[in-house]
A and B are shown apart, each in its own frame.
Chain A
């Protein structure tokens, strides 16, 4: 990997300057093995991706809004958005440590104590600690308040028993942001506590689950009499739900802020590759209206993201409005993925390399997009949130 010159952290330059530096860095460092628009026999290994992600941070492309004392760059959401536009445009792998950066980090900053902040936060950005999110359970997916994993106070610390599922990246994580219950199941939102659990603790078993796209990122995690030190508790025993739900609403609104630009870039890839072959171009031409619609929807996702950034910068609360962008990008990306799949499925055999690369990528996107209306709260949950908390629709007179 080429050497990295960190971006200057401080007052932002003129508009676009940050983006320009981000692009330059990516152009130099995103090699073919790391690119997601290549269908190579030997793509980058996990180690290479981790090194690349650590370098991104040093180059000023991660931890942009985090305080400098915790390893961040101390800039605003504006620079974060600018860098994310370039990250989105580039065919680069999704972050290995997105849970650390987009969920654990903000929660630790919100409820963690000074020691936790100064130990955990820099290690997330440097990629020394990869995090997973222990929220969902077999009986508690979108209905998080139904979770059963139990935390009991003992003389040695907290004793954890239970099972988590859909825990992305658990098998490569060193820490788990665990949400567990101190009280009875009937308490629902009350008595939930958050822990930063070391994944090396005795009593933790991780089993990978193969997902629809062939990936093995999902995991089941079993906690059998796992003892967690009191010092690993984040916030107070009853603050778990408040912290989790606050961060989830921001997560829905702002995580992977690059989505609109990534989606646009996928569309660009589709167009460029189809243009490399006359037969493929003729097929694409039949979809010009659908593709125009996709392009419009890309702009509309940008509208959701950018107005939310403006609101956040103006100090407004996002609350239930985080459901709007989540719903919109997930369904709109699925529509794109279906059209893209349909187009590549019609390619004649013996296509050129650009079309082969495209087909492999679009098939993967089609499959993985099925999860997008499920994770971070299903479509149905988002619709319930809007009905109840935005439209204030009554259920009884």
Chain B
């Protein structure tokens, strides 16, 4: 029934809603606005109040969120409303409607004492806690599970630590559901970073065409033109990687998703850093919002464990290749 939907229209709607979110006083208010526009349940099934669409439709929304520095755990909300649909439809529906704020503790597992990297954990009622065995539990934040505001690199979406003291209960997600959630998370993060980076490049190129120095526009200097062109190349690379990851054939999809995610995690912050350089001294001030984008992108890269994933990919690569042309080269014993 949604065959005729256009992801671009989602981006336009999302952009307008996210602009109003910037004026909303609390996370709950922002949740309400996002839910009213139907943005929280885009990938959740219809029976929990979602639209049941693929991540291809979530990507433009995340792009708009990244562009607009959205202060809401949107990635977590989208993922949980989908992942919970089979096991706790009621809770999934509440998350979809913005009534309940839920988040995910991205760093650490229940095997350790403390978990971290829970965006807006202090405003949330539930937190997803990963288990060491690859499954996860969505626990209510109460009693044994506490959220404590912590040092946060991202100032728009403050991070909480989750302290677990004793046994806790909640909705359990199995291994396959958690794997799917993590894979979808990569796509959503990539799209979010793409939006943030696009805004940084736009701000930098607008500024370069506005600011005069030594009697000429900054944008007349080849050094700056080439810097901005390189950033445009990186942005286009990110864009194409995200498009490809959403359309590629089954057997290549995880590698394509990993590449889109790792490219965004590495290059998004670099575009923000470059934009700060173009703005000169102004870029280093709190007034220019480039640092907010930079902080958000770096936080996403950290929550997603980009550096670790590159190491793991390295291990997987040197473990061997399936290329039939080199099958005849024998491994050393």
Which residues of A line the B interface, CB within 8 A? 15-16, 23, 27, 37, 89-91, 264-265, 267-269, 271-278, 281, 284-285, 288-289, 291-293, 295-296, 299-300, 302-304, 306-307, 310, 321, 324, 327-328, 354, 380, 382-384, 386-387, 390-391, 393-397
Contacts and interface: CB of A to CB of B under 8 A. Distances in A.
A268 B323 contact: yes
Nearest to B243: A307
A275 B332 contact: yes
A267 B243 CA distance: 24
13 contacts: A264-B323, A267-B317, A268-B323, A273-B329, A276-B329, A285-B318, A289-B314, A296-B258, A296-B263, A300-B241, A328-B237, A393-B219, A393-B225
A360 to B, nearest CB: 15
A354 B259 contact: no
* Dominant secondary structure of chain A at its interface with chain B: helix
Given A307-B244, A393-B219, A296 B259 contact: yes
Contacts of A264: 323
Contact of B237 (A23, A267, A275, A304): A304
Contacts of A285: 318
Nearest to B219: A393
B315 interface: yes
A15 B252 CA distance: 14
Contact of A289 (B209, B260, B311): B311
A89 B237 CA distance: 22
Given A300-B259, A387-B225, A291 B219 contact: no
A354 B327 CA distance: 12
B179 interface: no
Kindly list the 9 A-B residue pairs having the minimum CB-CB distance in the complex, ordered from nearest: A288-B314, A299-B259, A272-B326, A292-B314, A303-B240, A268-B323, A387-B225, A386-B229, A292-B313
Nearest to B327: A272
Contact of A300 (B220, B247, B263, B320): B263
Nearest to B202: A391
Contact of B311 (A273, A288, A383, A386): A288
A307 B240 contact: yes
B226 A387 contact: yes
Given A265-B325, A291-B314, 14 more contacts: A16-B249, A268-B323, A271-B326, A288-B318, A300-B237, A302-B256, A303-B243, A303-B244, A324-B237, A386-B232, A387-B228, A391-B205, A393-B209, A397-B217
Contacts of B327: 272
B330 to A, nearest CB: 6
Given A275-B331, A396-B217, A296 B262 contact: yes
A91 B217 contact: no
B285 to A, nearest CB: 24
